[in-house]
Structure 1
Amino acid sequence: MDTLAIFLTQLIISIFVFALLAKWVVHPWLADKKTKIALMILIAPHSLRHIGLTFMVPSVTDPAIPESFVFTTAWGDFTAGILALIALFALKNSWKLAIPLVWIFNLEGFVDLIYALSQAEAVPTLAGTWYIPTFIVPLLLVSHIMIFIGLIKGVGKTEQR
């Protein structure tokens, strides 16, 4: 198998596994939580997206990694992480703008991940950062989708929103 085929295989299987866990375990568990708590749980992993700055560390990635990938991915992840923290604080403190802030975070974070994944030319140069897009990104994608569903259809106990 070539590098891109291995990457896509790992990415797809990871997305599948996280989607199954979301359906079988996470979604039923969140159904008993207040909406703001359920959203906070789903947003929490995104507060660690500062890890994406690792793409900027020369000794961790191949020197041939495209600069456009490094810049947009690292700063897109960092921005999503900051927005996630703001959304968490807003939900925790019941700010009036909490739900709009969750939307802003979720839209920016989701678009960032999709854009980063569309840059296939970077795959052979990921080196030590390989596990970010093949393990962490699938978890984040699934949680983004769960957040979108929660924002549109509702998540948690309706009477406690």
Structure 2
Amino acid sequence: MKSVLVAATLFASVAHAQTAIGPWYVSDMNDGAGSFVGTINDSGGMFGKYCYVNSQSCVWMMTADVGCEAGSEYPVLLNSDSGAALVTVSCKPIDGKNRYFFNSYTDVDDAVARSSRIGFAFPMESGQFRVTRFDIRQSTAAMKALETRMRKRPERPGRPATRDTTL
């Protein structure tokens, strides 16, 4: 019950009707820009994939209780039950929360597709690490639901469509 309340609170600013798939929530963004899939950990942190209609692109993003400077990049150790990788994230504080956008999209995508649990270790100035973990079981079904939502979304007005077509 706690995770449903946390998800409703965190996703309220960007989502309407949500679909739950295991620990994942799939929804559309309120501004019509696209759709997302995300999961919440027991500490209230969020990890998810946001896909945008007009650019036909996606980004992985996570919140973490780790200080950062807006626009700065940081090294992070990605660890999952399928392997580990050194990735970089860019910090962007939004609504008082530090949001980290992954610059290593493929590494994150691959780890999510092959794992049931994922963690990220931030090196701290103290010599310690701040670790954030997420349950990502049923990620394949959640990603398929996201793809389905994106296929059903029309281009947003204001930008000419660039999709191939037959005339």
Q: Using structure 2 for the length normalisation, give the TM-score.
A: 0.29
**Larger RCO: Structure 1 or Structure 2 (Cα < 8 Å, ≥ 6 residues apart)?**
1
Higher fraction of strand = 2
